[in-house]
Amino acid sequence: MNKCWFDYKTVILSGASSGIGKGIAERLIKDHGCKVVGIARNEQRLQNFKAELGDKGDNFTYYTFDVSQEDKWHELAETLQKENIQPDILINNAGILPKFDKFMNYIVEEIRSAMEINFFSCVYSMNALMPILLKSDSAAVVNIASSAALCSLAGTSVYSASKAALKGFTEAMREEHRDNCYIALVCPGFTKTDIFRNQSKSSDKAQKAMDLISTDCDKMVDYIIKGMWKKRDKMVLGMDAHFMDKGYKVFGTKCSLISSKVMKISGLDMFKSIFE
């Protein structure tokens, strides 16, 4: 493996207990000798992951807290300083996908919660950790948004709003820190992870169609690691994400219209309540 700027760095990574975050942690530890400080709520899954790492398990430590709790990020910053741990990279990956639904069917509490987890958690983590990160000569922040930040679809008002907020925030932070910190925005399309656990189950046929446009989790992790390696500012990843990115630039709001029509005719149960 060629030398890479993040070899042997110390990385704070939220959402390390499953899916894309777990995959990134594994690659950083196994291929790049990084020390990863993982954050998530489910301690059992974090423990299992540490065990799965075998003799590399010592490179993974973790803290269990809800990323939407601002004070926990400040506590983490204090702990790192007390323990003389100098983080180099922050990856804000933890996120939830509220059930696809019409806006009128959400209760305000669900909307607030999604904004807290998907957006404000990144504001809190950057607010608490930037002063420490900037002491590193390889300071970096990677924010995992979504293709939903590029083009909004029916049924995703809450998710799209949270990820679009993250996109705007990340892009402004990037310009403010051009000289002292690499700040990346990642916009993955549909990826095969457990994030769809709360959506309605679809028939095998419809699910197969969904699988066709979705990217395997390992492949998505690979794209993200390669993008970080090349210090890409913005990563649009996956076939559907490229369609939404290019489609929005060419067709404008018609891209949302076309996508919504595709969702409607897809027959996927998870989109049904949107069009009823």
Ligand X SMILES: NC(=O)c1ccc[n+]([C@@H]2O[C@H](COP(=O)([O-])OP(=O)(O)OC[C@H]3O[C@@H](n4cnc5c(N)ncnc54)[C@H](OP(=O)(O)O)[C@@H]3O)[C@@H](O)[C@H]2O)c1
Contacting positions for ligand X (CB under 6 A): 14-21, 40-42, 45, 66-68, 93-97, 117, 144, 146, 188, 190-191, 193-195
Choice between 134 and 239, CB closer to ligand X: 239
Structure-block tokens of residue 204: 């095998």
Choice between 136 and 206, CB closer to ligand X: 206
Smallest gap from residue 179 Cβ to ligand X (A) = 28
Smallest gap from residue 84 Cβ to ligand X (A) = 25
| Residues in contact with 148: Cβ distance below 8 Å, sequence separation at least 6, in sequence order | 156, 159, 160, 163, 164
Smallest gap from residue 113 Cβ to ligand X (A) = 8
Smallest gap from residue 214 Cβ to ligand X (A) = 7
Residue position matching structure tokens 């209760």: 107
Choice between 34 and 148, CB closer to ligand X: 148
Residue position matching structure tokens 């996956």: 238
- Please report which residue ranges of the chain form alpha helices under DSSP H: 19-32, 43-52, 70-82, 108-115, 121-133, 157-176, 204-213, 217-229, 239-251, 254-265, 272-275
Smallest gap from residue 135 Cβ to ligand X (A) = 25
Choice between 59 and 68, CB closer to ligand X: 68
Instruction: Establish whether 63 is a catalytic residue.
Output: no
Cα distances from 115 to residues 33, 220, 230, in angstroms, run 34, 24, 30
- Of 159, 182, 223, 248, the active-site residue reads 159
- How does DSSP assign 247-267, residue by residue? HHHHHTTHHHHHHHHHHHHT-
CA separation for the pair 72, 65 (Å, rounded): 7
Choice between 40 and 89, CB closer to ligand X: 40
Which sign, positive or negative, has the C-alpha torsion 193, 195, 197, 201?
Answer: negative
Catalytic residues: 159
